[in-house]
């Protein structure tokens, strides 16, 4: 584990999926560099689905009672408020299907950020958000959280568009300790739901052990 003291030092706003044998098995397949691409897509989608389902736990609910076919009452809940997805292009688009499977006809915005070659700073290239994004809970989608540079820029775009940190739930497949630290230091009220926190970053900014370039494998552009 990293010198940052994870996982004990994690803020309560960082939620890591339970490391069950099922999840470990799914990660063993997608991290294996010999797997066929079709397996990567299928099993990455299964992990993404688990992350989306977990993320939905952090939306507010109100009590709701219904009557069952047994003419008995069931005291349940219903979701309050509206949601939307925002994917950080391009890898974040791989998580859109999992979100749609859980939330039919969900609105999905997009943000494209790229690093300036000279300054190394992340630059916003494109954004298209639901007009009423400020009134919605935002499920921000990006499978790999490395340094956090792109995610921080994307979160700043959401805040500039009227969203509050508390409204944003960042859904992520694999995070680095540095990425988690950078985001939580800047946005302590934002929630991060991730399936794994890996050890470190290499000199190119790839997550170790990681799995390589998620977008390239998922979309077949290796
Ligand atoms: N993006 C990826 O796809 N992989 C990494 O390891 C880091 C960022």
Stretch 95-103: mean pLDDT: 97
**CATH architecture entry for 14-219:** 3-Layer(aba) Sandwich (3.40)
Q: Give residues with Cβ within 8 angstroms of 123, minimum separation 6.
A: 113, 114, 115, 116, 153
Q: What is the pLDDT of residues 13-29, one digit of tens each?
A: 999 999 999 999 999 99
Q: Judge whether 160 counts as a catalytic residue.
A: no
Q: Note the ipTM here.
A: 0.96
pLDDT band at 119 (very low <50, low <70, confident <90, very high): confident
Pocket (CB within 6 angstroms of ligand 1)? 91, 144, 146, 206-207, 210, 213-215
**Percentage of the residues of the chain whose pLDDT score is greater than 70:** 96
CA of 144 to the centre of ligand 1 (A): 5
Tokens of 17: 């999926």
Beta strands in the chain (DSSP E): 14-16, 61-67, 73-79, 82-89, 108-115, 122-128, 136-141, 144-145, 168-175, 191-197, 200-201, 207-208
Answer yes or no: 204 catalytic: no
Q: What is the pLDDT of residue 1?
A: 41
- 7: pLDDT confidence band, cut at 50, 70 and 90? low
Q: Report CA(94)–ligand 1 centroid distance (Å).
A: 13
Exactly one of 119, 132, 135, 202 is catalytic; which is it?
Answer: 119
191: annotated active-site residue: no
């Amino acid at each position: 584990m990293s010198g940052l003291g994870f996982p004990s030092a994690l803020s309560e706003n960082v939620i890591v999926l339970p490391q069950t044998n099922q999840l470990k098995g799914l990660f063993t397949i997608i991290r294996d560099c010999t797997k066929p691409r079709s397996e990567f897509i299928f099993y990455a989608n299964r992990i993404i689905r688990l992350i989306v389902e977990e993320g939905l736990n952090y939306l507010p609910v109100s009590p709701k009672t219904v009557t069952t076919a047994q003419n008995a009452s069931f005291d349940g809940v219903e979701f309050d408020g509206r949601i939307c997805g925002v994917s950080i292009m391009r890898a974040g688009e791989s998580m859109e299907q999992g979100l749609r499977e859980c939330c039919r006809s969900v609105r999905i915005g997009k943000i494209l950020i790229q690093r300036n070659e000279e300054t190394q700073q992340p630059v916003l290239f494109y954004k298209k958000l639901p007009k009423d994004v400020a009134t919605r809970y935002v499920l921000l989608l990006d499978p790999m959280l490395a340094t956090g540079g792109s995610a921080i820029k994307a979160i700043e775009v959401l805040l500039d568009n009227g969203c509050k940190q508390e409204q944003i739930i960042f859904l992520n497949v694999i995070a680095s300790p540095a990425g988690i630290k950078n985001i939580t230091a800047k946005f302590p009220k934002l929630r991060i739901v991730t399936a794994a926190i890996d050890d470190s970053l290499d000199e190119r900014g790839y997550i170790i052990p990681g799995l390589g370039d998620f977008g390239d494998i998922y979309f077949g552009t290796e």
